[in-house]
Chain A
């Protein structure tokens, strides 16, 4: 992997628009990889996701596009993608929900648009969002077993597929 996290640290001067946004976040930013002034990736302190989300949400012209969960060696990496439409910039902030608890603070209370995606990441990858307003299942069926996360790397699509739930007997009659 190109070490996004090892490329540079905050002491390196930040360029362009992405640099302005990231410097506004202060010391919550741990490491930065600015590709150009419209695309940036940065790692943030996982204990401060709510504070960062609030700052980003209140910035002029920001829009929460979505989040991505990735199963990595140390836990689940949560990537928050923020779009700034006026300048066409996409800024991705990463926070690690460290194994084994994989806990991270939910940003859904400050950013309503994050509600569904956090539920989805919980369903598919098993990250635990603390203080989420409504952590019901969104993606998986109710019959899917607890604790089986289909998007994890060690889940095999064929071998690990849980059995189908019991079906009602086919009576041959037409549905009402």
Chain B
């Protein structure tokens, strides 16, 4: 080993959502090892939930993540409904589907924008975030809020949607579809993006399975899993849609899976609005008997897994929350090692790590002199320069 350098990434950067701390070990231009330290910002939600009643917990868990704030309460409610044996009314299942799919579109569009920025495609960044806006408006119409929807509750949902609201959402989704189709075409046909992202950040199918990767990270590595189809919840088994899998295993495959999923989500929402039945929106839940339940939901980033144990009192004995990034982030060990430094920014970003304040104050320190070599802004710049070089060649 000639000259090993350690690069610290984290714990904060305003570009990303959560706190995480990466240390990259560099030999020349190559990454030789990567270490992750999470929980810079651990909030103790699981402990907090033990002091909340079953009805209060959904509002706590939707604050686990500002982006997955429909998936976490839904997974929790499904776990509790499993304990209590509650049958959720049809209309509530459709309403849950609509909110969860809107969430998926806005999360994926946010990621496409950030990824565009990391590789120096600021036009993609501007467009993706512009096309995301109508979806945020639709979420506001549906739930009254752009984030933290307070929509799901044990036994159903808290608010009904009127015909007018559903029509308005349908119109906004149509608007997004037109723009997104154009964006998807442009991104997938761009020769520079092909050259820049193909073969970068390879996560093999075996490694994806070994690390328990989920969501688009697994589907981009040829693992055909999707909780929505495999263990149907909400109204997904009543709707015609398909799971997109790509066995490219690289960053391009993950990008492609996410972009196609946006279009699929739009399809799901339109069908749900068309087919939604009339009726009750919640079932009466009198008490939660002793028992154990699990609930899992396909959040935008992958499967979010909740386990709840009840002892018959008003408070959960234990509530375990596992967000998808917890399984996806360790895959960096497989995808980053051996990569070029210029590819690290986009490889780390490619799993859409939900790091609420993570990353991206990244400094490279020369191990001999202790002098700073790169910070994260410079790493992003390195990444953007590489794109520029490829652009000139193509």
Contact = CB atoms under 8 A, between A and B. Distances in A.
A, B co-complexed: yes
Given A41-B292, A112-B330, A88 B230 contact: yes
A74 interface: no
Interface stretch (A23-31, A59-67, A98-106): A59-67
Interface in A32-78: 35, 38-39, 41, 63-66, 68, 70
A139 B39 contact: yes
Interface residues of B, number: 39
A65 B231 CA distance: 14
A174 interface: no
Contacts of B214: 63
A88 B232 contact: yes
A79 interface: yes
A79 B296 CA distance: 16
A81 B305 CA distance: 9
A157 B51 contact: yes
A46 B276 CA distance: 48
B303 A2 contact: no
B305 A66 contact: yes
A55 B126 CA distance: 49
Interface string B194-216: 00000000000000011110100
Interface in B212-262: 212, 214, 224-225, 227, 230-232
Interface in B240-291: 289-291
Given A66-B326, A68-B320, A151-B46, A83 B296 contact: yes
Interface in A103-149: 111-113, 115-117, 138-140
B39 A140 contact: yes
A12 interface: no
Given A70-B317, A90-B231, A116-B326, A39 B82 contact: yes
Given A1-B311, A38-B231, A157-B47, A66 B327 contact: yes
Contact of B294 (A70, A81, A155): A81
A120 B317 CA distance: 19
Contact of B212 (A1, A65, A87): A65
A138 B37 contact: yes
Interface in B18-62: 37-39, 42, 44, 46-48, 51
Contacts of A83: 231, 296, 303
Contacts of B290: 1-2
B291 A2 contact: yes
Nearest to B213: A113
A4 B317 CA distance: 15
Given A92-B294, A113-B211, A115-B330, A65 B39 contact: no
B129 interface: no
Given A90-B231, A112-B211, A151 B47 contact: yes
12 contacts: A1-B290, A65-B303, A68-B318, A70-B309, A81-B307, A83-B303, A87-B230, A88-B231, A90-B296, A92-B292, A117-B326, A140-B42
Interface of A: 1-2, 4, 35, 38-39, 41, 63-66, 68, 70, 79, 81, 83, 85-90, 92, 111-113, 115-117, 138-140, 150-151, 155, 157
